[in-house]
Each structure stands twice: as C-alpha cells, then as structure tokens.
Amino acid sequence: MIKVLKNLKKSFWSVVVIVILLCVQAAADLELPDYTSKIVNTGIQSNGIESSIPEIILKEDMENLMLFTNQKEEIINQYCLVGDHPSKEEKKIIQKYIGKNSENLKENSVYVVKNISEEEKEKLIKNITTPLMIYSTLQSEEMVNQIKDKITQNLPEEQKQYIFSQNLMDIMRDMPDTQRNQMLLELVKPINEMADLIKEQASTSSIKVIYNNAGVDINRLQNNYILFTGLQMLSVALISMISAVIIMLLSSRVAAKLGKTLRNSVFKKVIGFSNKELIKFSTASLITRSTNDVQQIQMLIAMLFRVVVYAPIIGVGGFIKVLTNTDNSMAWIIGIAILAVLFIVGTLFTISMPKFKRLQDLIDRLNLVSREILTGLPVIRAFNKEKKEEKRFDQVNLNLTKTNIFVNRAMSMMMPLLMFVMNSITILIVWVGAHNVDQGIMQVGNMMAFIQYTMQIVMSFLMISMISIMLPRAAISARRINEVIETESSIKDQKETKKFNPAKRGLVEFKNVSFHYPDADTEILSDINFTAKPGQTTAIIGSTGSGKSTIVNLLPRFYDVTGGEILVDGVNIKEVSQKDLRDIIGLVPQKGILFSGTIESNIKYSDENMSDENMIEAAKIAQATEFIETKEKKYQDPISQGGGNVSGGQKQRLSIARAIAKNPEIFVFDDSFSALDFKTDSRLREQLAKITKNKTVIIVAQRINTIINADQIIVLEEGKVVGIGTHEELLNQNKTYRQIAFSQLSEEELRKKGDN
C-alpha cells in the first residue's frame, strides 16, 4: 500500500493544503460545542451577563454592598467612580450596559470596573460574590421582613413599628458593628454551604439586581450577547463548511490524479509485457486491475486524509476539551462509547475480512467468463450451448453476488448498531447530566457541550473504523496493482544496443534456434536453421502444431529464443532495441486485428501523417479498394471494435494493407491469406511481388497455392525443419511436403502449378 501512496508525490502541495484545511476544520468543529455552552449558560440562563463581577454599579449599591463585607478596600480599589470626563474604557463600559440612558447619569453616581488582570479579577470575584449574594437576598420583601422580625424580637411595639417603617439598609448602616457582624454570620453560613456552581449562578442573579438598579436594559444585553455569540458560531461553522468543501474537492482531485497515475503505470507496464507476462496475468485480470482495483484505491484516498488527519484531531481534541472545558465527572461515559464502537466494528471486521479478500478474485473470474462468452458467441450459438454458458455465467455471477451480499449485509448492520450506541450514549449523558444539574454541579450548557464532544469523539472512532474496513480491500487492490507494476518483462533491451548492419539489410538468419514456452517441459522448436534473403520469398509450411506461428512470434521478439540466435541485418535481435527491430518488420498476424476508428486510421496506423496516396496504393495492392469503394464514406467509413462490422476476408485485406503502408524491410505474413478466395489471393500476391523485389518476405501458410512459387519453402514437423527447397525439389524429395501437397491438390495440378 505504501508503494502505491508514493505516487502522491505528484500532488504534494494539494496534500499539504488538505492537511492544513483539515486542521482548520477540526479546530472549528471543536469550538462549536463551546459556543453552544455559552449561548445556553450565559445567553439564556445568565441573561447575557458574561462576567462574574458587576462591571457597573451605582454608588448607592456599592455603599450598600460594603455593609456586607470586611474586604471593602480591596473591592473599592478595583473600581473607579465616573466623573465629568470619563476615560475611553469607562465610556465603553457605560455604553455597553446603559447605552442611550447614559446621558441621565449624574456625576459621581456610578462605579465601573477598572482594566484589571485575570489574577486581580479572580480575587475580586472571591471578595465580592458573598456581599453580592447577601445584597441580592435582601431585595426580597419576605427576607427583609424576616430580618426585621429578628431585630425587633424583644423590642416594644412602638419601636417595632418604627423599624418596620425604615429601610433595611439604613437600619444596617446604623446598627452596631457587633450586631451587624452577628447578622452577617447568619447570612453567610448558608452561602458557604452552597456548591461552587450554584454560588456562581446565584452571583449572576445578584449582578442582574445591580444592573437593574443601574438602569441596564437586561433584555437588550441578553439579545446582544446571543446575537453576537450566534454570529461567531455561524462564522466558525462557515469556516468549517468552506474547509470541508475545499477538502472534498482537493481530495477528489488528488484521488483522481492518483487513479490516473496508477492506470498509466499499469498500462505502460502491460504495453511492455511479453506474451509470457500476458499469459501469466490474463487479459481479464489486467482489465480488473486497471479499473476496479484502481477505483478501490481512489475511494480510499478520498476518505484517507479525513481519517488520518481529521479523526485523530477530533478524537484527541474532543477528549481534551471534555477534561478542560466541561465537568469531567462523566468522562467514563466516553470510555463506554469507545469500547462499544470498537467491539461492534471489530466483530464485523473479523466476519467480513475473509470475504473482502475473495471479492477481487471473483471479479477477475466474472470478467474472464464474460469475455470468453462474448468472444466465442458465434461458436456458442453454432453448437446450441447458450444454456450451458448461461449456467456457467450464472454460477460465477451468483458466487460474486453471494459474497457481495454477505459483505454488504455485514456492513449495513454497522450504521444502525453504531447509531444505537450513539443514541444510547446521548440518553445516558442526559440522565447522568440531569442529576448533576439538579445537584448544582453542572450547567445545562455544559451538559449539551458534553453531548456534542462525545458525539465528535465517537464519530472520529467511527471514521477510523470505516477506513479500517476499506483499507484491507484497498490493500489487496494495491498489492494486485503492484504485482503488475513490479513485474519485469522477460524481454528487455540491453543497456547498450547495437544498430543494424546496412550491408546486410533485410537478411534474416535462424541459427540453431530452439524454444519452449514458459513453464513447459517440451521444446516447441528445436535446431531451426534457415536464412531468408532480401528479394526472395521464404515460405513456412507444416501441419497444425508444428511451430509455424511460433517462428513468427520469435522474429519480432514477442518471445525470446531459449536456444540459438536470430540475426536480422547481421545483428542478433537481442542486441538491438525492440523499437528498432519492430520498425523494420511489417507483421500481418494470423488473426486480423482492427481497431475502432475508420478504414483510414487502420491503414495509417504505423504513421498518422502518411499521405493519402500511399494509403490508397497500399489498399490497391491488398485488393481492398473493391469493397472500400462500395462504402458510403469510403476511407472514412467507421470500423467497430475488433473489426466486427467487416468480413473475415475484408479484415485480412485491411491488415495486409496496413503492413504494406508501413513499407518495412521485412514482410511477415502469418497465414494471412486464408480468408481470401483463390482469385483475390493470386492478384494480391502478384501485386505484392512488385513492391517486394528488394525486401524479405516470410509467409506462413496452410495452403499450397499460397506458397507454391516461393523461392524457398521450409517444411516443419513437430518443431523441426524436415525440408528446405523449392516446390519442385520438395515435391520430389520430401515425404512430409508431398503428404501436405497431395492432401490439397492432385499430382497433375501440383505439377502444372509448379511449371507455371
């Protein structure tokens, strides 16, 4: 897999941008629960009051607060009394809280907090919280009456009525210090017993009382806070969304580029394969490897960055946020969620993994059977074997379908099970969190943030689990692709190649050549010796399986000889480059192969810039003009894939025209006239003789008629040369040749044709 991923070097900068954007997106996503918590805790529950200390206090309220604390100097020193010319900071605070009503403030009537450090702020919160809560409590008429009852408990009725008619603050102010301190101890005692969170919430309510007295519009303050925080939250969400969109675009681009690179690498490698490697892999498997296997890699890459970079940041970052920003007493719930996810994914992974390994092999098999059936359709119909082939295809298709269904069923169970886990965890968080909220050890916003962080952590593990399931199948595909890319062709050029000898132009020499196919024990050819000279026609004939086509495949190095050597233009073909060798050979294979396009593109296959005159001349020599001229678009008439819209004879003539148009030194015809009638065959060879006077012509044939006038005929039997000579010489002297000849023509016809 790592070898495949090395191809990402071509998309290095895109990958860097993706990683940066993933970090940005992860950071943005981790911030969103905090904003939810702020909106609920501060915006809704605290009416938009952010600070735990009042930032603006009326002078009268400040004096009243000082009655309930022994830290008067420490508190007063952190505030400044606003005079006629407030500073910028003072104006900013007044505008924030009082707004338009600030014009009604009298000189020296309000305190605003100074620009203090965090450490000083913490001390101020500690000092001012208790007096704030006491002062807030005393705003209740019921509480005031209770205190007055205690004060007047042993007093005469007249004094009692007088005290009840007085303001409690005035009474407290005139009260002896001992009595006031005693009362403060009674008021402070229940406050000290409160949980910190309840104390913090109560303090916020107390600040609300202070702000109301100062003329602060609490509704406006709350709306402004929620609106501003909401806009911040939307901005962060927008950053996350834009990052996600760009990441998906870049990931898709990187994955597509990697797919293109892999397909090119596989195709270029396959183009250089000899027949040995093509047989080893099979055409169907090579098609699967360059399509389906590459697609598996693409799908993985599109997801990989989000998992490798994003998921760990979200998982670890979410856990850190839980421990630092929320009440970590529920962290154990995250542990339960992770264990449940890992158990589900691990179980499904164990069940499905063996099936993933089989899928690609089954796809190979399906492609192979499909290709065989479609290629051999005429034969199947001729033998009425449609039902048999349908059953064969159905069986292969059924095996693939069963495996796919099994894998898909297993995978389809994953999401419902994981969603069940996630929803169950949410219920558990709400249940535990509700008890904590009730006990005053957690705020509602923190509980909501905890739910979001938990979902993010669980989703990160879910993403990692999903990629862990995709990874094995992609790894198998990567291995199959690497098998092709790393396979070296058995036929390679030497580091230093030679050039052909111009003095021996067109000369072909087989010297003690032997050959056996890879993994075969028996020799297909042994001790083959002959020379094909320029200006002469060398024919090769023999019974089926005697090795005629094998000789043709050895000449352009589709296979390499296993013994002896082949010389072309006086040089061993292993010592020249394959390109140079094949440039001077015009091969017409036994099976005429045409490419989708037009008649023109097929004849001009060797040179797209070939003149039309050369193309037409080649078609005339190949006797192809008679059917080309009948076509509606002539040379622009379309040719379907494999030449399926032309007959066998037409296909052969176009293949011959393609070789003639190349104008090579050596013509090789591998039984290329078998589909031609005798008249067309005769005319074609007559025209061919005119352009091959100084060229070497090698013809492999089954028909005596085709080779009867060859300058030399090589007779093969069971991979050995059993005769070399002219038609007359072999007819008189070679038993094998006579048997072949007499099986096709009578002695009189043979003698007559020989004389002609």
Whether 581 and 500 have beta carbons less than 8 Å apart is answered as no
- pLDDT at position 328 is 64
Residue 238: is its pLDDT beyond 90? yes
The predicted structure's pLDDT at residue 102: 61
Interval 237-257 mean pLDDT = 91
DSSP state of 42: I
List Cα–Cα distances, 655 to 44, 441, 622, in angstroms. Answer: 84, 88, 9
**pLDDT in the model for residue 255:** 87
Which homologous superfamily is 248-486 in?
ABC transporter type 1, transmembrane domain (1.20.1560.10)
285 Cβ neighbours under 8 A, 6+ residues apart: 364, 367, 368
Q: pLDDT averaged over the chain? A: 82
272-277 contacts: CB < 8 A, separation 24 or more? 272/489, 273/487, 273/489, 274/489, 274/490, 274/491, 274/557, 274/558, 274/559, 274/560, 275/553, 275/558, 275/559, 276/490, 276/491, 276/517, 276/518, 276/559, 277/487, 277/489, 277/490
Other C-beta atoms closer than 10 Å to the C-beta of 95 total 11
Determine the Cα–Cα distance for residues 742 and 90; give it in Å rounded to an integer: 122
pLDDT at residue 245, rounded to an integer: 92
What pLDDT does residue 326 have? 59
**Please, where are the H alpha helices in 272-310?**
275-281, 283-288, 294-305
**Hey, what amino acid is at 649?**
G
- Tell me what pLDDT residue 755 has: 52
Domain layout of the chain by residue ranges: 39-222, 248-486, 594-663
Mean pLDDT, residues 26-35: 88
Hey, do 248-486 and 594-663 end up sharing a CATH topology, with the first three levels equal?
no
- pLDDT grade for 237, boundaries at 50, 70 and 90: very high
Q: How many CB atoms lie within 10 A of CB 396?
A: 18
- pLDDT tens digits, residue range 217-231? 888 888 988 999 999
Average pLDDT of the residues in 90-113: 76
Q: Residues 486-512: what's their mean pLDDT? A: 86
Which of 131-145, 149-163, 689-703 reaches the highest mean pLDDT?
689-703
Q: Give the CATH architecture of domain 594-663.
A: 3-Layer(aba) Sandwich (3.40)
Phi and psi torsions of 524, nearest 5°: -80, -40
Give the best-scoring range by mean pLDDT among 33-42, 166-175, 229-238, 500-509: 229-238
Give yes or no for a contact between 457 and 337, defined as CB atoms under 8 angstroms apart: yes
Per-residue pLDDT reduced to its tens digit, 271-297: 888 777 787 887 778 888 888 888 888
- How far is it, in rounded angstroms, from Cα 184 to Cα 68? 7
**449 pLDDT higher than 90:** no
Q: Is the pLDDT of residue 197 over 70?
A: no
Task: Give the model's pLDDT for residue 261.
Answer: 87
pLDDT band at residue 242 using 50, 70 and 90 as cut-offs: very high
The average pLDDT across 718-743 equals 86
Mind listing the pLDDT tens digit for each residue in 38-76?
888 888 888 888 888 888 888 888 888 888 888 888 888
Q: What pLDDT is attached to residue 608?
A: 85
Quickly tell me which residue has 């107390």 as its tokens: 206
| SS3 of residue 219 by DSSP | helix
Backbone angles phi, psi at 23, to 5 degrees: -65, -40
Is it the case that residue 756 has pLDDT exceeding 60?
A: no
Of 716, 720, 662, 666, which Cα lies nearest the Cα of 536?
666
Cα separation, 265 vs 548, whole angstroms:
34
pLDDT tens, 311-358? 888 888 888 877 776 566 777 887 888 888 878 877 877 777 777 767
Question: C-alpha 183: how far from its chain's center?
Answer: 73
Residue 393, pLDDT > 70, answer yes
Interval 136-152 mean pLDDT? 76
* pLDDT for residue 357: 67
Taking only the tens place, the pLDDT of each residue in 508-567 is: 999 999 988 877 778 888 889 999 999 888 999 988 888 888 888 889 888 888 889 999
The share of the chain scoring above pLDDT 90, in percent, equals 7
Q: What is the reported pTM? A: 0.69
4-8, 534-538, 670-674: least confident range: 4-8
Contact between residue 445 and residue 41 where contact means Cβ atoms under 8 Å apart: yes
φ/ψ of 711, rounded to 5, equals -70, -35
The pLDDT value recorded for residue 240 is 92
**In 451-561, beta strands by DSSP E:** 508-515, 525-532, 537-542
- Mind listing the pLDDT tens digit for each residue in 395-445? 988 988 888 888 778 777 777 887 888 888 888 888 888 887 777 667 777
